[in-house]
Each structure stands twice: as C-alpha cells, then as structure tokens.
C-alpha cells in the first residue's frame, strides 16, 4: 500500500503519476517538466506508452519529485462497470469512502489474471496506489464524454489528490469552461492549464503551486523546487 503523506517525512521525494486517456500528452508533459526532449516515446498514435516509466526532478543533486509516465486508459467505461460489479470487501462498509475505494482497487488488482483485457489499465491503477498525487492530463479539444467521467471516477477510488492538467488550450479555448465544470462535479477545483509541448515557466510554476495547495504539509518542500527552477 502507498505510504500516506503523514507516514512520509517532509523531505521524501514526491511521487507524481501522470495519468489520463491515451494520446492526451502525458509523455510530452513529463518531457517539458524534465526539459528533456527524449524521454519516452511520443507518436500520433493511440497507446504509445505501454509500461510505467519513471524520471526524476532534482534540486542540487537530490531527488525531489519522481514522475511516473503511465499507459493511457483505453476502456474506462468497461473498467468502471467491472469495478462496480466487484463484491464489497468484508469490512468495506465500516471504512471511509476513500479507504473503501482503495480496498476495492487492491482487490481488483490482486485478481489481475482474471482480467487480461485490462492489462494496461491495471498498470495505471497500481501506480496510482503508490503515488502522492495524480496529474490527470486532459485534451480539451475533446468534448466531455462519459468515458472521461468514468476515468475520473475510477482514479478517484485511489483516494489521493487529482490535479487536472488541461492540454491544447491554445487551439480549443471554447471547450475550457465545459471541462472546468466537469471537473468541479468531481470536486476537482485545483486545475491548471499547461501546454505540454511549449515551455512556459509561469504555467509550470502554477502547476507546482497547485501541488502546494493539495499537499499543504509539503508546501515548503515544493517551494524549494520552484525557487530552484527560477534560477
């Protein structure tokens, strides 16, 4: 199970999983944050990333953030339906909703051999359970469809903060309000607009500030990263 924020010291590296539908710009986001154009594979094709890959952000030689690039979620509607059909854990009714969601995900992952059709999705869920925050990358050129709502519903079961990252806003600003409303329906208000292929330090800083807002105990730690990036 994931070590909770209270279990970790304030100097432990943050684990950020970059998640979302296939081909939304997840790998490009990590490349931009790393300022490294050769991390992972970026192609105009569905499901380019097939395995979880990790990269680190350093401050004076010390790892402060671990970024995990995950495969795209490809069939969230079937995944949610399958999760909804899973029996409740014996003690699930007596625990909080967040813990119940995590327990259901753990139980589902333990039966991975029964669900080969969700091989890629299970890789994402495993990483989500071992992360501090999920960066959910959204292609705002797309309309708000049921499959994206199901992605958020499933990812929310991990019981950790989710920061929606709106990509491609320069060419689809008219859709932004629809996506903001959709995220608000899931109580996801710490959203950030971030063009994943064009470096903009102000957008990057806003992303880190959103992290500070959802991980208040790590505020000063994240500020060190912001200050370092300014130099």
pLDDT above 70 for 90: no
Which ranges of the chain would DSSP assign to H, the alpha helix? 26-34, 76-85, 97-110, 119-129, 146-156, 176-185, 201-214, 219-230
Nearest C-alpha neighbor of 40 from the set 69, 14, 65: 69
Strand order in the sheet with 192-193: 53-59, 62-69, 14-20, 133-139, 162-167, 192-193
pLDDT above 80 for 86: yes
Q: State whether the Cα torsion 84-86-92-98 is positive or negative.
A: negative
The crossing angle, in degrees rounded to 10, of helices 119-129 and 97-110 is 140
pLDDT in tens, 39-84: 544 444 454 556 899 999 989 889 999 999 999 998 999 999 999 9
Residue-averaged pLDDT of the chain: 87
> How wide is the angle at C-alpha 81 spanned by C-alphas 163 and 54, nearest 5°?
40
pLDDT in tens, 106-145: 999 999 899 999 999 999 999 999 999 999 999 999 999 9
3 state SS of 139 = strand
- Cβ pair 183, 189 in contact under 8 A: yes
The alpha carbon of residue 117 and the mean position of all alpha carbons in its chain are separated, in whole angstroms, by 21
Q: Structural domain boundaries of the chain?
A: 14-230
CATH class of 14-230: alpha beta
What is the reported pLDDT for 221?
92
Strands 14-20 and 62-69: parallel
The crossing angle, in degrees rounded to 10, of helices 176-185 and 146-156 is 40
Say how far apart CA 51 and CA 124 lie, in whole Å.
9
- Cβ pair 210, 193 in contact under 8 A: no
What is the reported pLDDT for 196?
77
Question: Which is more confidently placed, 84 or 91?
Answer: 84
pTM above 0.85, yes or no: yes
Say how far apart CA 134 and CA 164 lie, in whole Å.
8
Nearest C-alpha neighbor of 81 from the set 16, 26, 144, 146: 146
The crossing angle, in degrees rounded to 10, of helices 97-110 and 76-85 is 100
What is the reported pLDDT for 229?
85
């Amino acid at each position: 199970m994931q070590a909770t924020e209270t279990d970790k010291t304030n100097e432990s590296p943050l684990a950020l999983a970059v998640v979302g539908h296939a081909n939304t710009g997840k790998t490009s986001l990590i490349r931009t944050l790393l300022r490294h154009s050769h991390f992972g594979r970026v192609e105009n094709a569905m499901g380019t990333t097939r395995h979880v890959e990790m990269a680190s952000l350093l401050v004076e030689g010390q790892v402060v953030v671990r970024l995990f690039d995950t495969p795209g979620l490809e069939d969230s509607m079937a995944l949610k339906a399958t999760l909804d059909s899973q029996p409740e854990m014996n003690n699930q009714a007596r625990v909080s909703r967040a813990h119940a969601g995590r327990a259901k995900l753990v139980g589902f992952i333990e039966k991975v051999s029964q669900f080969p059709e969700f091989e890629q999705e299970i890789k994402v869920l495993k990483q989500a359970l071992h992360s501090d925050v999920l960066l959910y990358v959204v292609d705002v050129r797309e309309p708000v469809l049921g499959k994206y709502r199901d992605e958020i519903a499933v990812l929310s079961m991990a019981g950790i903060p989710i920061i929606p990252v709106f990509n491609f806003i320069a060419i689809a600003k008219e859709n932004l309000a629809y996506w903001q409303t959709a995220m608000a329906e899931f109580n996801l208000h710490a959203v950030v607009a971030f063009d994943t292929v064009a470096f903009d330090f102000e957008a990057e800083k806003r992303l880190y500030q959103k992290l500070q807002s959802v991980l208040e105990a790590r505020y000063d730690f994240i500020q060190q990263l912001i200050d370092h990036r300014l130099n």
